[in-house]
Amino acid sequence: MNNSKLIDKVHQAVNTMLYKKGYAATVDVLMEMGILSKEDYERWRFGRIDYLERVCKINLSKLSRIRREMFIQARRGDLKSSYTDYRKWGKGKNIRLRFSKYGDEQTEKLYSTHYYSDETIKSAKARMIEASAIKKEAKAANRAKQEEAIARKQAAKEAAANPTEVIMFEAEAANERLIPELSAVE
């Protein structure tokens, strides 16, 4: 992948993360670009991989270019930067995770910087709240359908237990249909 395609992919991934989450983190951008798999990211977070660059599917100079482009895009977009301390997940010592092969402090800081704006955070939160409300509505509708199905099954069981009531119910329903038809004829 040449540099211009790489830059375009970085910008697209950053914009996608800003839209989805309200912020852009290097690890998220790398996953969005397909350079870092979610499985490798999780293995790194659990401390099973000594440094993140080891599992990235691109060379170190291109990783450096990605970080630099993220920084440039953040400056152009008036995004704020926030340092995030990445710690090991799971049991055991709560150690700081390493991003780079050599552990250079400046490189580590660039990897762990998140870029955001107050507007992107607010709009992402609003979308998450809306999605949550839609999920709740869907769950409530599903519950209502399930309860209705259970009630129908129960009614069918009761009808099977007492067939004379079913015949009477069907006759009443037929009469209700006939009465409007007769009044329409007159």
Extract the tokens encoding 59: 């060379």
User: Where is pLDDT greater, at 1 or 12?
Assistant: 12
Establish how many alpha carbons lie within 13 A of residue 126's alpha carbon, considering only the half-sphere containing its beta carbon: 7
Query: What residue segments make up the domains of the chain, in order of their start?
Result: 3-116, 127-185
Helix, coil or strand: residue 113: strand
> How many Å apart are CA 110 and CA 24, to the nearest integer?
12
Cα→Cα distances 96→1, 6, 31, 48, 59, Å: 32, 29, 21, 13, 24
Q: Is the pLDDT of residue 38 over 60?
A: yes
Instruction: Provide the pLDDT for residue 112.
Output: 92
Query: 62-114: per-residue pLDDT in tens?
Result: 999 999 999 999 999 888 889 889 999 988 888 999 999 888 999 999 999 99
Helix, coil or strand: residue 186: coil
Helix axes 3-21, 60-76, angle to 10 degrees: 60
Per-residue confidence at 22, pLDDT binned at 50, 70, 90?
confident
Judge if pTM exceeds 0.75.
Answer: no
DSSP assignment of 53-106 equals: GGG-SS-HHHHHHHHHHHHHHHHHTT-EEEE---B--SSS--PBP--SSS--HH
Helix (H) or strand (E) holding 26: helix 26-32
Cα→Cα distances 45→48, 52, 94, 156, Å: 8, 9, 11, 54
43-52 average pLDDT score: 94
Closest Cα partner for 70 from 57, 79, 60, 61?
79
Per-residue confidence at 172, pLDDT binned at 50, 70, 90?
low
Instruction: Provide the pLDDT for residue 88.
Output: 92
